[in-house]
Structure 1
Amino acid sequence: MSVQQLYPKLVVTDADAAITFYRAAFGAELVERYTDGSGNVVHALLRAGSAVWAVKDGDAVDPPPAAPGPVILALYVDDPDATAAAMLAGGGTVIFEVSDQPYGERGGRLADPFGHSWMISYRSADLSPEEIQQRTAEAYP
């Protein structure tokens, strides 16, 4: 067996609105979009840089989340402050403000308007795994 690709598929209440949001907030490109006979999006693939994810309209089988769920999507960007501002402008909400983190990143966590959590980060320091572990243990005892 050989794994060829893994990407998240986000179930949302309005896939076309989500596509618009992700295009504006992340500069995502719509790669493909397919609908059922009623016009509901059953699969839309998006790409931003090397990140790939899909969205679909929720239905009885796959209802959209009511609130941010247990999965956090980690997205590394050139400017987390600008990305957070774009998410907020599109209706996102702050879970944790973007700030400098002790483990060598600048980042924060935001929820998109569709119930998904995004950790938006930028690597701000070149630290060894040992340094990251030490700083993390000290910051979060």
Structure 2
Amino acid sequence: MTRIQQLYPRLVVDGADAAIAFYTTAFGAELVERYTDPDGNVVHALLRAGAATWAVKDADRYDPAPGGGGLPVILALYVDDPDAVAQSMVDGGGSVIFAVSDHPYGERGGRLSDPFGHAWMVAARTEDLGPEQIQQRTAGMY
């Protein structure tokens, strides 16, 4: 069995920067990291308040916000072996949304749906990159 390293929710919203401002004010959250596409849309922003960690991202064609018929949360699961976890999910009745593959922002991962309709981003970090490198590589994907 692979070792789980981290689990946090990813909230899909219309207006990620407004959501970040809200969570900063309402919960005293600290913005840990924030990455955007070339148009300035937030593709990942990690927040921390006390022992709680969660991410926020702008809705897009793959991840509509809840009001637009999308899932309200994507669970981000970091593990030692995302390929093995993805296969275990499929073997258990899950389905592949995006196959596990290498990504230029220093992760290997994919997205799967469990048999109950929840979306899981299963990934492992493959490179130790700084925030500037991640932002540059993320923007280059679009």
Q: What TM-score do you get using the length of structure 2 for normalisation? A: 0.52
In the other structure, the counterpart of 2:116 is 114
Q: Which of 1 and 2 has higher RCO (CA within 8 Å, sep 6+)? A: 2
| Equivalent residues of 1:68, 1:116 under 8 A apart | no
Please give the alpha-carbon distance, in whole angstroms, between the structure 1 residues aligned to 2:126 and 2:87: 19
In the other structure, the counterpart of 1:133 is 135
Bigger Rg over Cα? 1
Percent identity between matched residues is 63
In the other structure, the counterpart of 2:31 is none
| Equivalent residues of 1:78, 1:122 under 8 A apart | yes
Q: What TM-score do you get using the length of structure 1 for normalisation? A: 0.53
Total equivalences in the alignment = 83
Post-superposition, which runs of at least 4 consecutive aligned residues in structure 1 deviate over 3 A?
Answer: 48-53
1:20-65: per-residue Cα shift (whole Å, max 9, x none)? xxxxx978xxxxxxxxxxxxxxxxxxxx666499xxxxxxxxxxxx
Supply the RMSD in Å over aligned alpha carbons. Answer: 2.7
Please give the alpha-carbon distance, in whole angstroms, between the structure 2 residues aligned to 1:49 and 1:98: 17
Structure 2, gaps ≥5 residues long? 10-68
| Equivalent residues of 1:110, 1:118 under 8 A apart | yes
Q: Secondary structure at the match of 2:137?
A: helix
Cα–Cα, structure 1 residues 122 and 87, in superposed 2: closer, same or farther, change >3 Å? same
Q: Secondary structure at the match of 2:115?
A: coil
Structure 1, gaps ≥5 residues long? 1-24, 28-47, 54-66
Cα–Cα, structure 1 residues 68 and 77, in superposed 2: closer, same or farther, change >3 Å? farther
